[in-house]
Amino acid sequence: KSPLTLGIKEANSGGPAAQILDRLGLRAVIVQGAPRNRRLYCLFISNDKTTLIPANEYRGMKNYELVGKLRKQYGEKVAVICTGIAGERKYKGASVSLTDIFGDPSRNAARGGLGAVMGSKGLKAIIIDPSQAGQVDLADPEEFRKIVKSWVDTLKHDISCSLYSRFGTPFAISNSASQGTLPSNNYRSGRPANFIAVSGNSIQKILFERGGKMHRCMPGCVVQCSIIYPDKDGKRLCSAYEYETIAMLGTNLGITDNDAIARLKLICDDLGVDAIETGSSLGLAADAGKMSFGDWESAARLLGEIEKETPLGLALGNGVVATARYLNVSRIPAYKGQAIPAHDPRSVKGTGVTYFTSPMGADHTAGLTYRNPRNRDKQAENSLRSQIQAATCDAFGYCLNSVPGGRASIYPFFADLINARYGLQLTPKDIMEIGKQTLRDQLDFNEKAEFSKTDSKGAAFVREETIAPSGQVFDVDEAEIKKVWKGLDSFQEKEKVWEIRIPPLPDMMFGAGVVTSMGERIRPLKIKKVLLTTDPVMFSMGRADEVRKILELSGIATVIFSDVEPDPPIELIERAGKIYTDNDCDGIVGLGGGSSMDTAKAVGLRVTHVGEMREYESIVGGTAKIKPLLPPIICIPTTSGTGSEVNPYAVITDKERDLKFMLMSNHLIPRLAVIDPVYCKTMPPGLTVESGIDAMAHCIEGYVSLAIPYHPYFEAMAVYGVKLTGRSLIRAYKNGNDISARTDMCMAALCGGIAFLKGLGIGHAITHVLGAHYHMPHGRAAIYGLLCFVKANKETCKEQFVDMAQLLNRSNDLEEGLLEFYRRLDIPISLKALGIPKEDLKKIAFYASRDAVNMATDPTSVSEKRILELLQEIYE
């Protein structure tokens, strides 16, 4: 029973303690009664005894000192569950701290004041000895291992789990900021000004530079989303550096210095207080003038007040409602006595419904959902779905961070796993029913407790105040909220139907000389003035002026923007967008290679959509925000590589984060693609090769990518694209005026631009890093990325690669065939020849392994170590 909500409470942690208990044959530890005379005890559990040990000597001891002494006495392998001084003093904001696999008491079952409950029993720590723990009995060991192996494969190729594996929970920082749900300055804004500094990408950069690492918090976990955050000397500053920590001890307090946030997290871990509850309390203290937003040292001083037991410290230690009462603050980010946790309900309304209906009170782990976040309708169903799934995971002790975001469902997996473990005959429906019954039991408990009497008006401001920058309030109808539990009994998971989608294609003109007549096809679009985006080379060659004259013959005025650079940065898009707006343009023409066409698409988005370009990044949910508002876009490729003229993508560079990101939406597909091989004749031999290899990389990677495991339409495009490349790239390289070869390569680029809608892999992960860190043209980087892709997937894709090798040059081995193809194109296979220092290979491998999407959809689960080996193979 939570001392904050006065209702039932569970909290998630991590760490090996639960596994050891299971191996000791224990399902639960139940502690009844309480010691007389305020005595403290430790509970020691081993294979042959359970003993209460007097522990008054540990009174007033913080977690790190306590755990250090216990491990010294009982051995380095014990798991410890402890309360710190906060739980010992029964502070309502106290957490239960658990050690991770390194013995660090950083895994906190923090929400709801559970540390106070443990402290009320006089328990300073529970010590679990694994030395004689056995292995669990399996009813069907072979079937059990088979199920686990299959599920591990699912998790490794799931994009959501891939994000957790590569960035930890901080990957969600950018997503939340994009949605406007990341708290800033005590929930005054949902997008902190400098949120990029604490984003997953920024933290990974720090880890690489200082030697920090990702790790599993318990043995056997394949997701490994826990972060050991290092100080500037590479020493561990804190462990379990997570989204909620960053949000509540960081941005909510106006702090975006990772070192500072990590230090505050370490203090909270040591005291044994919930970082969410405490961070929210500190936000109120800042509002009341007790500290300054953005000043981590003043926040640290206030945490010191908790240890000193000053009146303010007692208020902070007892949570946000107690702090508000002490400071006489009426704007309280809490519901049912518990702080709102790091996802503002005004911009993510389904999660808001969870806060206001869950038996757990305001707790994101009870049912976090970002489905249609700003839509006020049908959020009761979204919340219920998430709450049932969360309750099911909690009932079986399964980590929420290991729930795949794709088509795979936990219910059949749990049924198969439990059946193999115990010899049962459970169905997926039975598993869901266990989750439902868990919720019924929780609701019933709360009816008998004081939960329904707890003040529920604390978070009233979320219905009244709009949050910047979304301008949203929490406006889900009370009637919608009240019907959540009415649907519990009848709720069933909708079957996820496998659907092959064929995306729309632009209207196309294809053939030598078609540019001259394009005005006739553009005229029906009713464009009066276009912005023509192109690069300095096309401008100096006169191609831009040539297109301008053709358009003017059709009555279309042209404003030329000729500053496009490779991998166009956000700043360039903003500048071009201003020129478009200042000149009252109503259409865009992209003339050039992929960068010019991607610029055209991005400018179309910029001039019709509000907010920052980063908000529309596909990996943070930006696709759903792109509406059918873009002006007509016409693309005229002058290279044969990217396929941007026919696909829904645009790649933009974010200099601040030192990475490329993707915009993706069918609304970005050009209205007209004018593909004229004559315009590709001016490509020099080197560019001809680089763009051609890029087109082929799209085909080969797309052919076997697991993003969409089965899609004959995309696969057919990939097959034909490789065939055309094998037939004509060498010819086009040796004779740029061979119009037949140029035509084939234009079509190969078109095929590749469609084929890679099926997905890509490690090749493009490496390609993107080479481009972003060494300003290498994308096609040139693709030469090396493709070779690494083929090497990495040689065994996994043996049959498919034979098909590709035969199409390329009638070889039976794709790696050998590709190397021969490169030789005939005079390509030097040497990263050293590109001027890349050998010591940089580790950096390339590190950042390539952080490409969550392409690494997840690669057919082989390639490790960072294996990427480094591949790079070393092609270095000299």
pLDDT > 70 fraction of the chain, expressed in percent and rounded: 99
* 411's tokens: 């219910």
Residue 553 vs residue 36, higher pLDDT: 553
Q: Which residue do the tokens 């950083």 mark?
A: 106
Confidence (pLDDT) at 406: 82
First-to-final CA distance of the chain:
64
- Architecture of domain 507-679 in this structure: 3-Layer(aba) Sandwich (3.40)
Confidence (pLDDT) at 103: 95
Residue 73 φ/ψ, nearest 5 degrees: -80, -40
- Provide mean pLDDT across the span 5-17: 93
In this structure, the number of other CB atoms found within 10 A of the CB of residue 174 comes to 26
Sign of CA dihedral 130, 133, 138, 142: positive
* 494's tokens: 């909708």
Confidence (pLDDT) at 735: 97
pTM confidence score: 0.93
Give the CB-side neighbour count of residue 812, counting CA atoms within 13 A: 0
Confidence (pLDDT) at 626: 95
Q: Which residue do the tokens 């800033």 mark?
A: 184
Question: Does an H or E element contain 750, and which?
Answer: helix 739-755
**Pairing state of beta strands 107-109 and 96-98?**
antiparallel
What DSSP character marks residue 54?
E
Instruction: Give the C-alpha separation, 298 to 722, whole Å.
Output: 62
**Pairing state of beta strands 338-339 and 334-335?**
antiparallel
Q: In sequence order, what are the residues at sequence separation of 6 or more whose Cβ sits closer than 8 angstroms to the Cβ of residue 257?
A: 197, 296
Instruction: Give the C-alpha separation, 197 to 216, whole Å.
Output: 24
Residues of the chain with CATH 1.20.1090.10: 683-873
Q: What letters, b where the CB count within 10 A reaches 16 and e where it falls short, cover 648-667?
A: bbbbbbbebbebbbbbbbeb
- Provide mean pLDDT across the span 461-470: 93
Question: Does an H or E element contain 508, and which?
Answer: strand 507-510
pLDDT higher than threshold 80 for residue 648: yes
- Provide mean pLDDT across the span 834-838: 95
What DSSP character marks residue 467?
B
CB 698 within 8 A of CB 755: yes
pLDDT higher than threshold 70 for residue 455: no
pLDDT higher than threshold 60 for residue 458: no
- Provide mean pLDDT across the span 475-480: 91
Give the CB-side neighbour count of residue 230, counting CA atoms within 13 A: 15
CB 565 within 8 A of CB 572: yes
- Provide mean pLDDT across the span 785-790: 98
**Pairing state of beta strands 659-664 and 338-339?**
unpaired
What DSSP character marks residue 128?
E
Instruction: Give the C-alpha separation, 163 to 147, whole Å.
Output: 23
The contacts found for 839-846 with CB under 8 angstroms, 24 or more apart, are 841/868, 841/871, 841/872, 841/875, 842/868, 843/208, 843/773, 844/766, 844/769, 844/770, 844/773, 844/871, 845/871, 846/204, 846/208
- DSSP conformation letters of 163-189: HHHHH-GGGHHHHHHHHT-S-BTTTTB
pLDDT > 90 fraction of the chain, expressed in percent and rounded: 89
- Give all strands (DSSP E) within 67-200, no chain letters: 79-82, 96-98, 107-109, 123-128
- pLDDT tens column, 322-336: 999 999 999 999 998
Confidence (pLDDT) at 621: 81
Instruction: Give the C-alpha separation, 260 to 272, whole Å.
Output: 18
pLDDT higher than threshold 60 for residue 472: yes
Instruction: Give the C-alpha separation, 403 to 407, whole Å.
Output: 11
In this structure, the number of other CB atoms found within 10 A of the CB of residue 826 comes to 11
Whether omega for the bond prior to residue 469 falls within 30 degrees of 0, making it cis, is yes
Residue 46 φ/ψ, nearest 5 degrees: -135, -170
In this structure, the number of other CB atoms found within 10 A of the CB of residue 445 comes to 15
Question: Does an H or E element contain 65, and which?
Answer: helix 63-74
pLDDT band at 539 (very low <50, low <70, confident <90, very high): very high
Instruction: Give the C-alpha separation, 713 to 285, whole Å.
Output: 59
Q: Which CATH class is domain 168-339?
A: mainly alpha
- pLDDT tens column, 367-376: 999 988 989 9
pLDDT band at 495 (very low <50, low <70, confident <90, very high): confident
Residues of the chain with CATH 3.60.9.10: 17-128
pLDDT higher than threshold 60 for residue 676: yes
Confidence (pLDDT) at 154: 95
Instruction: Give the C-alpha separation, 257 to 194, whole Å.
Output: 10
pLDDT higher than threshold 70 for residue 525: yes
- Provide mean pLDDT across the span 637-644: 95
- pLDDT tens column, 581-630: 999 999 999 999 999 999 999 999 999 999 889 889 988 788 988 999 99
- Provide mean pLDDT across the span 785-813: 97
Confidence (pLDDT) at 712: 95
pLDDT band at 506 (very low <50, low <70, confident <90, very high): very high
Question: Does an H or E element contain 674, and which?
Answer: strand 672-675
Question: Does an H or E element contain 649, and which?
Answer: strand 649-654
Instruction: Give the C-alpha separation, 816 to 811, whole Å.
Output: 8
- Considering the four listed CATH numbers 3.40.710.10, 3.20.20.70, 3.30.450.20, 3.60.9.10, the one that applies to the domain covering 17-128 is 3.60.9.10
- pLDDT tens column, 31-74: 999 998 889 999 999 998 999 999 999 999 999 999 999 999 99
CB 216 within 8 A of CB 224: yes
- pLDDT tens column, 25-37: 999 999 999 998 8
pLDDT band at 178 (very low <50, low <70, confident <90, very high): confident
- DSSP conformation letters of 509-575: EESTTGGGGHHHHHGGG--SEEEEE--HHHHHHTHHHHHHHHHHHTT-EEEEE----SS-BHHHHHH
pLDDT higher than threshold 80 for residue 454: no
pLDDT higher than threshold 60 for residue 302: yes
* 282's tokens: 């500190």
- pLDDT tens column, 753-784: 999 999 999 999 999 999 888 989 999 999 99
CATH number of 683-873: 1.20.1090.10
Q: What is the mean pLDDT of the chain?
A: 95
Confidence (pLDDT) at 500: 87
Instruction: Give the C-alpha separation, 745 to 732, whole Å.
Output: 8
Q: Which of 22-26, 120-124, 480-484, 576-580 has the lowest mean pLDDT?
A: 480-484
Beta bridge partner(s), residue 189: 184, 468
Q: Which residue do the tokens 């358009």 mark?
A: 551
Highest mean pLDDT (candidates 650-654, 708-712, 870-874): 870-874
pLDDT band at 453 (very low <50, low <70, confident <90, very high): low
Residues of the chain with CATH 3.40.50.1970: 507-679
In this structure, the number of other CB atoms found within 10 A of the CB of residue 301 comes to 12
Q: What Å distances lie between residue 829 and 295, 787, 832, 873, CA to CA?
A: 52, 9, 9, 10
Mapped onto helix, strand or coil, the DSSP state of residue 494 is coil
Q: What letters, b where the CB count within 10 A reaches 16 and e where it falls short, cover 717-752?
A: bbbbbbbbbbbbbbebbeebebbebbbbbbbbbbbb
Confidence (pLDDT) at 628: 96
Would you say domain 349-487 falls under CATH 2.40.50.140?
Answer: no
pLDDT band at 656 (very low <50, low <70, confident <90, very high): confident
- Provide mean pLDDT across the span 379-393: 96
Instruction: Give the C-alpha separation, 10 to 114, whole Å.
Output: 8
Confidence (pLDDT) at 457: 58
